[in-house]
Amino acid sequence: MSKHQIAVIAGDGIGPDVIEQAIRAIDATAKKTGTQYEWNRLPWGSEFYKKTGHILPADGWETLKKHDAILFGAIGSPDVPDSVTVHELLLPMRRRFDQYVNLRPAYLFAGVPCPLKDKAPGSIDMVVYRENTEGEYAPVGGRLYEGAPEIAIQTAVFTRRGCERIIRAAFEAARQRRKNLTSITKSNALVYGMVLWDTVAKEVAQDYPDVKFSSLLVDAAAMDFVRQPEKFDVVVASNLFGDILTDLSAMVTGSVGLASSANINPTREFPSMFEPVHGSAPDIAGKGIANPLAAILSGALMLDHLKETAAAEMIRQAVKRVLAEKIALTPDLKGNATTSQVGDAIVDVISRM
């Protein structure tokens, strides 16, 4: 019988509500598989910052390192600057724990209203591999002469190592899927970082002759994510491009409330982190209407990483059934179910498997 210690940072806004439903779904699978999960709920986030002046305690990183994985809800509050929530917790976690693979699937489920015309369930099925530790989000730069005249310098950082390892991870995924990989670039304008990216992508492609490889400018990719999203299989992109394109892929598959993600340290030297893409959504916080399926599907990605593949598949099958049969849909999916009612439906389907 396997046992896993999971750090839980539910965070802000709708984070606590959706993460609780993910935990319930995972615990429901545990009754079937006999796996044990120890949930260490850590009260870190904006409220913790307002009480202590810190987004996490001094020993916070050492605490997280002791866990097998991290289940993360959301971070961000209108009354706390992003320079605290994002730049002192979320982005440093990805770099400190070398979670260089940001994995974001997008799938059009049966029963989900698609904003695009004539798209059949399953016709949109892509996964984006986003570089997660450098690129445009590297904390390199500064501001000078605040006020007028002011200078702000933000430097994108592309290393051969960083490019190669995310591109190679994407090729490995493509080899296991439909053997089609698209690399996102803007080397016609960004003539240093993106040219290095393109160079490395072409070199790595030589090791995967069985995978069809193509390169696409990010503006063309944005159009094709809407115009013909079914053509994409595995997509690999830099930090910024991957971030933006995956919000688009979430919406063309029905809702950001279905968008799961994994921040993976492939070496397992450090814990990986799993979170819904949607963020803290302060506009609907406290209303009990947030869609928990992105968090629940992120939990399934976590189970994949923990090699609990049977449990992960239980969750995915339960999500498919709840959506296809419209058992419980939140308002973003044209339903009227509450967050907890969707969680109830998922647990009920799993319990009857």
Q: Is 186 a catalytic residue?
A: yes
Q: Is 208 a catalytic residue?
A: no
- In the structure encoding, which two tokens stand for residue 16, read together? 């606590």
- In the structure encoding, which two tokens stand for residue 97, read together? 């724990």
Query: Active-site residue among 137, 233, 304, 332?
Result: 137
Query: Active-site residue among 12, 17, 68, 243?
Result: 243
Q: Is 137 a catalytic residue?
A: yes
Query: Active-site residue among 27, 98, 198, 247?
Result: 247
Spatial CA neighbour of 272 closest among 302, 298, 299: 302
Q: Is 348 a catalytic residue?
A: no
Spatial CA neighbour of 318 closest among 106, 32, 35, 17: 32
Distance CA 230, CA 151 (A): 43
CB 106 within 8 A of CB 127: yes
What single string gives the DSSP state of each residue in 258-307?
G-EEEEE-TT-SS-EEEEETT---TTTTTSS----HHHHHHHHHHHHHTT
Distance CA 151, CA 11 (A): 34
Q: Is 107 a catalytic residue?
A: no
Query: Active-site residue among 37, 49, 68, 186?
Result: 186
Query: Active-site residue among 219, 231, 287, 307?
Result: 219
Q: Active-site residue numbers? A: 137, 186, 219, 243, 247
